[in-house]
Amino acid sequence: MTGDNRIFNVNGKSEEYLLETLQLALKNTKVEGWKHSPNHGLILFWAIPKNDKKVNRFPAPLNADAIFPIVTQYLKSEDASKVECKDWDADADHDGHNERGWRVYCTDWGHVGNECYALIAIKPAYIWYGK
């Protein structure tokens, strides 16, 4: 586990790049559980407090290669399609074009939102292409 002030924010389009991003984000760390958030997307957890009933536990801890097929299926899901793409993730109006992709990230203090045991979140995001 890294320090409390982790910064991670990568967006892209291809599944190959998504796998490489997950491998970097989860290097030397395994994922214990997950939770869907309408604001943050799929949140992955490095630990789950014993009495937490809101986080879904995997049968065994998963590394990046094992979690990758789950993440790709999530990004194709109805739940993912309902996550709002806003700010830097938005389908922005500009002098280029946009294509739907993904973003892997954490927020302040290396958490995701208020989830202090979260490693990263994955959500749909638009990739902007200028002239």
Q: What is the pLDDT of residues 56-66, one digit of tens each?
A: 999 999 999 99
Q: What is the model's pLDDT at position 91?
A: 83
Q: What is the pLDDT of residue 7?
A: 87
Looking at 1-131, which runs of residues are DSSP E strands? 9-12, 31-37, 41-45, 56-62, 97-105, 118-129
pLDDT tens by residue, 29-70: 999 999 999 999 999 999 998 888 899 999 999 999 999 999
What's the pTM value of the predicted model, to 2 decimals? Answer: 0.92
Q: How far apart are CA 37 and CA 48, in angstroms?
A: 16
Q: What is the pLDDT of residues 80-106, one digit of tens each?
A: 999 999 998 988 888 788 899 999 999
CB 41 within 8 A of CB 124: yes
Tokens of 29: 């760390």
Report the candidate in 5, 26, 28, 39 with the shortest Cα–Cα distance to residue 71.
Answer: 26
